[in-house]
Amino acid sequence: MSFFRFHYRRLFSVGVAAGIFFSGMNFGTAAENENGFSQREVNDQAVMSLVWMQTSAEYRSLCYQAYNTALERVAMAVAHHRAGDKPLAIVLDVDETVLDNTPIEACYVDTEGVFNTKDWKEWCVAGRAEAMPGAADFLQAVDKLGVDIFYVTNRTEKSGTIKNFRAVNFPLADADHLLLKKTSSYKKPRFEKIADQYDVIVYMGDNAEDCLPEAYDKPFAERNDIVDRHRAEFGTKFIVLPNPDYGNWESSLAKDYWNLSPAQKNEARKKVLKKWVPGKDK
């Protein structure tokens, strides 16, 4: 099931059962509503994270913080770069790392619809994603310093993504710098290919796997252990952008998460909550 990580994540909750011709809407079947819990209610749980990402000063601040930190590392690497050294590069994810896809995510709120490959392809082909706050300025600054930029993404749509990059003034918007998913969402082989030829200054992303591919397809406790082991490298080699709306953090909550029913997803989400009940210490 790991093949469908990232943006194909929600397809599995309904898509496989429904076949490849589903419309993405009207999945309010009896199976979807077991225990009285519907897909619409699952979708509604994303409202606060989407509102936060689309409106809050805090989200923008964290984006600026990430790009400023990365740019400082890039400038430092350029200053220490010597003739004969490998050329410098940065490696970054695309979705919720430099492009904002929250509008396509928000379209399922108040519906029984499920994120699916048909809708996602249409969104990617349209190339309508806006740049995240500060992303274009950051990327242009990196480019001006003569550092290569490799966009390593699990998107599969090349022309729409390049069109989108150009629309929001991202530099190096070409096929040589865009490493799409071919057969697997596991990014390590693509990272290794770049690192063979370049000295990679920073890895950036909204998924732990964008920095540490070994976290791929692991349960959340293991993902946390992997990140803990690399704690000294965050803010230096690894720069992370916030994404409370979706990500492998969600699928790591339970085995075969994307195959779970809405009720089972709701249960998997709520059972990991730590609670302190008022009156407990009296």
Supply 219's token pair.
Answer: 């349960």
Contact between 209 and Mg ion per CB under 5 A: no
Contact between 100 and Mg ion per CB under 5 A: no
Supply 117's token pair.
Answer: 């490959």
Contact between 245 and Mg ion per CB under 5 A: no
Contact between 93 and Mg ion per CB under 5 A: yes
**Distance of alpha carbon 60 from alpha carbon 56, whole angstroms:** 7
Contact between 250 and Mg ion per CB under 5 A: no
Nearer to Mg ion, 32 or 95 (CB): 95
Report the sign of the C-alpha dihedral through residues 54, 59, 61, 64, in that order.
negative
Residue 114, C-beta contacts closer than 8 angstroms, at least 6 positions apart: 10, 11, 13, 14, 15, 24, 27, 39, 108
Binding mask 137-166 for Mg ion (x = CB under 5 A): ------------------------------
Contact between 206 and Mg ion per CB under 5 A: yes
Shortest spacing between CB 4 and Mg ion, in angstroms: 15
Q: How many residues bind Mg ion (CB under 5 A)?
A: 4
Q: E-assigned strands of 113-187?
A: 130-131, 148-152, 178-179
Are residues 227 and 198 in contact, defined by beta-carbon separation less than 8 angstroms?
no
Contact between 95 and Mg ion per CB under 5 A: yes
Q: Pick the stretch among 9-17, 164-172, 206-214, 228-236 that binds Mg ion (CB under 5 A).
A: 206-214
Strand 130-131 relative to strand 99-100, pairing: antiparallel
Q: Pick the stretch among 81-89, 106-114, 198-206, 248-256 that binds Mg ion (CB under 5 A).
A: 198-206
Residue whose C-beta lies closest to Mg ion? 95
* Residues at the interface with Mg ion (CB under 5 A): 93, 95-96, 206
